[in-house]
Amino acid sequence: MTVLHLADEGEAADLAAFLSRLLHYDRAAAVRLQAAGTALAVFGRPPSFEVLAIRAVRLAKPYENGLDVTLDVTVSVGELLEGVDESAATVTVPGAVTGPAWAGVLPPRGGWEPVSGLPGADALRGLVAAGVAEFRSRSEELGAEGRTRGELDRIGREIWSRTVGDTGVPVRVVHAAQALGFLRGGDPVLFSSGGWLRLRTPYGSVALRRGGLGALGVSVR
């Protein structure tokens, strides 16, 4: 098995926290790993939010494994989390698994342009809190008989599909960033490329594919 040496214990701890959050939403979750040079990109998809979560991890030295200079593999989140050694700042990459469909369609590597109009972090956290409060209030108003899974899902889609100002980004993207621990510290930045939107923070990114597989800028690899 491949052992990756991370930049420091903090990188290992942040990676473990990210993987733990993905497991919270899906105990059978998988992630796609791509390592090149001194960077490891971890792609996951928490099913509750219908977005792609990306965590960048710094490596202690450029990745190399024999004749291979890049790593690209889909693995079990649970097995990968078991392989994280925070004190040694290493992670053991488990064997590959059959990847879910989303793992074959990743955001483009380049062509990202900033999108204006995104509020600051405090305002975005306020939007999420207001959405959670509204969902709770409306679900309680349904009563026991009306509180079906279908009706709860309908209310959730209505709330989280609303866009943030004129940016075109659904509130669920912000909700995902908050739930995954990305929406802390400095203000996030919104970018677009082809059919994708990407909310980037110092702790990770959340990407949303707006078009189908034929949309410009979609990278299938």
Give the three-class secondary structure for 190.
Answer: strand
Q: Nearest Cα to 209, choosing from 220, 97, 38, 68? A: 220
* Other CB atoms within 10 A of residue 149 CB: 7
pLDDT surpassing 50 at residue 29: yes
pTM summary value: 0.89
Instruction: State the Cα torsion 217-102-81-182 to the nearest 10°.
Output: 50
The pLDDT tens digits for 163-202 are 999 899 999 999 999 999 999 878 999 999 999 999 999 9
CA distance 215 to 48: 24
Q: What is the mean pLDDT of the chain?
A: 91
Helix (H) or strand (E) holding 107: none
Q: pLDDT class for 217, splitting at 50, 70, 90?
A: very low
pLDDT surpassing 70 at residue 212: no
User: Across residues 153-165, what is the average pLDDT?
Assistant: 93
Task: Express as a percent the part of the chain with pLDDT over 70.
Answer: 95
Ordered domains of the chain (ranges, CATH):
2-106 (3.10.150), 113-188 (no CATH)
Q: pLDDT class for 66, splitting at 50, 70, 90?
A: confident
The pLDDT tens digits for 67-110 are 688 999 999 999 999 999 999 999 999 999 998 999 999 999 89
Give the three-class secondary structure for 218.
Answer: coil
Question: 125: which 2 tokens?
Answer: 């956290």
Please report, for the chain, how many H helices and E strands are present, in that order.
6, 13
Rounded CA Rg of the chain: 18
Q: Which residues share a beta bridge with 57?
A: 40
The pLDDT tens digits for 117-152 are 999 999 999 999 999 999 999 998 988 888 899 999
CA distance 216 to 87: 43
User: Across residues 52-80, what is the average pLDDT?
Assistant: 92
Question: 68: which 2 tokens?
Answer: 């291979």
Q: Which residues share a beta bridge with 74?
A: 32
